[in-house]
Structure 1
Amino acid sequence: MGEHSPLNVHSAQLKKALVWMAEAIQEQPHRQRRHIVQEAELRFDLTPLECEFLNKHFTKAET
């Protein structure tokens, strides 16, 4: 990860979003990840950089 990665900023909201996403994926494995990511972005009021990080790392493998 780069120097300006959202994880290097130690965003509390991003950490909460990641925990929530993991729970949502476990509880609803049939749900598309991009929908889970979109909900997390809104629910935790993430910055554009944090949203880009989630989209890059959690939705790229999905068709």
Structure 2
Amino acid sequence: MTTIMPQSELVKKAVVYIYEQRKKYPKNFNKLLDQAGMRFNLSPKEAEMLKDFFKQSESDH
């Protein structure tokens, strides 16, 4: 049975997924973004926000 989640929950899960996967595969960031977008059914706008989020968090370090 499939559970319907609010989009904001899916974006949060995508962030966690990317953080976890980047520990294993640090050089495949764009591929991870694509995988997260497909896995969590993100819209193009949400995928772009996700990309911007990670760019911003990297520039803060």
Which range, TM-score by smaller chain?
0.5 to 0.7
The root-mean-square deviation of aligned C-alpha atoms, in Å, is 2.2
Shift of 1:47: 1.7
- Consecutive unaligned residues in structure 2, runs of 5 or more: 1-6, 56-61
Name the % identity: 33
Shift of 1:48: 2.0
Trace 1:1-63 onto structure 2 (pairs within 5 A).
11-29=8-26, 31-58=27-54
The TM-score with structure 1 as length reference comes to 0.65
Once residues 52 and 12 of structure 2 are traced to their aligned partners in structure 1, the CA distance between those partners, rounded to angstroms, is 16
Once residues 14 and 50 of structure 2 are traced to their aligned partners in structure 1, the CA distance between those partners, rounded to angstroms, is 9
Once residues 53 and 23 of structure 1 are traced to their aligned partners in structure 2, the CA distance between those partners, rounded to angstroms, is 18
> Quick check: which one's helix share is greater?
2
Runs of 4+ in 1 over 4 A off after TM superposition: none
Amino acid at match of 1:34: N
Contact residue 17 and residue 36 of structure 2 kept, 8 A:
yes
Q: Aligned to 2:20, what secondary structure does the other structure show?
A: helix
For 1:5, the equivalent position in structure 2 comes to none
